[in-house]
Amino acid sequence: MKVNKLAMLTDFYELTMGNGYLLSGKMDQIVCFDMFFRKVPDDGGFAIMAGLDQIIRYLKDLKFEKEDIAFLREKAIFDEKFYDYLENFKFSCDVWAMPEGTPIFPNEPIFVVTGPVIQAQLIETVVLLTLNHQSLIATKANRIVRAAQGRAVMEFGSRRAHGYDGAVLGARAAFIGGCIGTSCTVVEQIFGIPAMGTMAHSWIQMYDSEYEAFKTYGSVYPDNCTLLVDTYNVLKSGVPNAIKVFKEVVVPLGFRPKGIRIDSGDITYLSKEARKMLDDAGFEDCKIVASNSLDEYIIRDIIIQGAKVDTFGVGERLITSKSEPVFGGVYKLSAVQKDGEWVPKMKLSENISKTTIPGFKQVWRLFDRTTGKAISDLITHHEEVVDDSGAYTIFDPEQTWKQKTIENFIAKPLLIPVFKNGECVYETPTLQEIQAFCMKQIETLWEEALRFENPHGYYVDLSQKLWDCRDRLRKSMSSI
C-alpha cells in the first residue's frame, strides 16, 4: 500500500469527530496527545521503540485523494465544509518522539503530538498500529537475540506473518531488535537488510537421493554451501552426505563449506553429534544453523544443555510475537491550550493503571555518571529542566513514601522534535545506526532488568510539579 493512500486508514470515529469539531468551531483548538503503553510484553523488563520512520513518511505525504472524498460523500453524513477541509488537508502539527531503538517503559509518553485537534485526532490509528506493531516485534526479537548469547539470529517468519506489511515491517523491526538478516527477499530490496537462505526440504526430495541433491547444490553454490540435513535422518544420512559433498565438491573447487541446518528433532542432541562428525572430518569451521519453532525460552534452554549451534533461524514465534501478540499502546488527550497556556486533561478510572498522566510532558532518563547505567526515567512538564548538578529526589508515583535521593547523575531528555508546524525537522538514521544505537542503549540497563522472568522493576517517576498537578486534577475530578 502506498503511503499517501493511508489517509483513509483511520477509525471512522476520527472522521465523525473531525466533522463535529469543524461544525462546533473547535477544529483549530490546539491540543496535546500522548502515545504510551501500560505493560511490557511477556512480562519483560523493557520494550523497544520502533516504527518512527514509517510514521514520518506517513505524515510527510498525508493527504486525501479525490476518490477518498468521493467515497465519503457517498456516505452522506458529513457537512460539505468537512469535505472541503479534507480536500485541502495539510498536516501542521508539532511532533516529539523517542528515537527508534530506545528502551521504553510503561506509562511514559513515547510519541507526543500538539496541534489542531482535528489533525491530532485523525492520525491516531496509523500512529498506534505502526508503533504498536514494530515495537512489539523489535522487543520480541531482542529477547530472542539476548537468549542466543552472542550467536547470530536470523528472522525466518515472513510466511507466517500477519499479512504483507506484517512480514516486511516485522523484519525491519526484528533487525532493530538485533537480528542479522531475514528470509524475505523484498526486505533487502526495500531496507537493505541482508536476505538469507539456501534450500527447503523440497529441494532434496526433487532428486533421486539426498547425496545427489547436496552434490548439485554444492556445485551451483560452492562459495555459499549450507545444506539442510534433516529431510530423512540427520545423523545417519544428512550429515554424512553433507560431509561427503564438502570433500568431493566444495573443497576441490577452492571453497570451505558454510554450514548445515537442522530444522527438526532434538536440536541439542543432534547439534552435539553433528559437531563431532564435522570436526572429525576436518570441518571445524563449518557452522551449525538451527530452526524449527524456536523462541527465547527454547534457545536459552538448549544453550544451557550444551547445544552446538552457531546461528538460529526464528520464524513464527518472532514475527507474530506468538507468546504475547498485542503491544497495547494507547493514544490519549493530555492537554488543551487556552489563552496560550496548557490546561492539563486526565482520564480518571477506578483502575489505577488506566488513569492517565495529564499535561504536555517531557521524559528524562537519569544515568549514573560513574557507571553509565540508567537509574530511572522521570516524566516532567515539557518546560521543566532537570537540574543534574546536585542531588535530586525521585519517588514512586503511587507509593510516594518510596523515595530515593540520587547524586552524580546525568539527565537526558528522551522526546526529541520530529515535526515543527507540519515540517519534518528530524533526520532518520540508517537502520544499521538504529540497531547499533539500540544495542548501546540496552547496555545501559542493569542486568537485573534483562531477566526474562521477574525482571527488576525499572522506575518511571513523576517530577514533584507533575505529581502535584495530577493529584490536584484527580481530587477535583473525583468530586464530579
pLDDT digits (tens, 9 = 90+) for 258-274: 999 999 999 999 999 99
| Shared-domain flag, residues 11 and 122 | yes
Whether the CB-CB separation of 431 and 440 falls below 8 Å is answered with no
* Sheet hosting strand 329-338, strand order edge to edge: 341-344, 329-338, 30-37, 111-116, 94-97, 416-420, 423-424
Give the contacts of 203 (CB within 8 A, at least 6 positions apart).
Answer: 213, 217, 228
Question: Is residue 167 in some structural domain?
Answer: no
Average pLDDT over the chain, rounded to whole? 95
pTM of the model: 0.96
Whether the CB-CB separation of 357 and 334 falls below 8 Å is answered with yes
Name the nearest CA neighbour of 252 among 261, 263, 244, 240.
244
The three-state secondary structure class of 419 is strand
DSSP state of 384: -
Instruction: Give the whole-angstrom CA distance, residue 288 versus residue 271.
Output: 7
pLDDT > 60? residue 2: no
**Residues spanned by the domain of 125:** 3-137+325-358+415-439
Instruction: Give the whole-angstrom CA distance, residue 480 versus residue 215.
Output: 79
Instruction: Give the whole-angstrom CA distance, residue 42 versus residue 296.
Output: 11
Instruction: Give the whole-angstrom CA distance, residue 359 versus residue 455.
Output: 30
**pLDDT, tens digit (0-9, with 9 covering 90-100), for 308-361:** 999 999 999 999 999 999 999 999 999 999 999 999 999 887 777 678 999 999
Name the nearest CA neighbour of 430 among 422, 438, 419.
438
Residue-level pLDDT at 254: 98
Instruction: Give the whole-angstrom CA distance, residue 94 versus residue 68.
Output: 25
Residue-level pLDDT at 103: 98
Give the contacts of 235 (CB within 8 A, at least 6 positions apart).
Answer: 270, 273, 274, 277
Cell of 161: 506473518
Q: What is the CATH number of the domain that holds 286?
A: 3.20.20.70
HSE, side-chain direction, 13 A CA sphere, residue 439? 14
Whether the CB-CB separation of 30 and 89 falls below 8 Å is answered with no
Residue-level pLDDT at 400: 86
For residue 81, how far is the Cα from the chain centroid? 39
| Shared-domain flag, residues 336 and 247 | no
Whether the CB-CB separation of 327 and 343 falls below 8 Å is answered with no
Question: Is residue 367 in some structural domain?
Answer: no
Q: Provide the domain count of the chain.
A: 2
pLDDT > 60? residue 3: no
Residue-level pLDDT at 480: 60
| Shared-domain flag, residues 112 and 21 | yes
Residue that is last in its domain, among 274, 292, 310:
292
| Shared-domain flag, residues 101 and 224 | no
| Shared-domain flag, residues 111 and 225 | no
| Shared-domain flag, residues 276 and 331 | no
- What amino acid occupies position 398? E
| Shared-domain flag, residues 271 and 339 | no
The three-state secondary structure class of 311 is strand
Alpha carbon distances (Å) from 116 to 22, 75, 91: 11, 25, 9
| Shared-domain flag, residues 102 and 19 | yes
Residue matched to cell numbers 507526543:
112
How sure is the predictor about 110, in pLDDT bands with cuts at 50, 70 and 90?
very high
pLDDT > 70? residue 200: yes
Q: What is the CATH number of the domain that holds 7?
A: 3.20.140.10
Question: Is residue 115 in some structural domain?
Answer: yes
**pLDDT, tens digit (0-9, with 9 covering 90-100), for 118-152:** 999 999 999 999 999 999 999 999 999 999 999 99
Q: Which helix (H) or strand (E) holds 228?
A: strand 226-228
Question: Is residue 334 in some structural domain?
Answer: yes
| Shared-domain flag, residues 126 and 225 | no
Mean pLDDT for 420-427 is 98
Which percentage of the chain shows pLDDT scores above 90?
A: 93
Whether the CB-CB separation of 411 and 386 falls below 8 Å is answered with yes
| Shared-domain flag, residues 91 and 45 | yes
Give the contacts of 442 (CB within 8 A, at least 6 positions apart).
Answer: 103, 142, 450
**pLDDT, tens digit (0-9, with 9 covering 90-100), for 145-192:** 999 999 999 999 999 999 999 999 999 999 999 999 999 999 999 999
Question: Is residue 68 in some structural domain?
Answer: yes
Question: Is residue 160 in some structural domain?
Answer: no
How sure is the predictor about 477, in pLDDT bands with cuts at 50, 70 and 90?
confident
| Shared-domain flag, residues 73 and 128 | yes
Question: Is residue 408 in some structural domain?
Answer: no
Question: Is residue 384 in some structural domain?
Answer: no
| Shared-domain flag, residues 329 and 288 | no
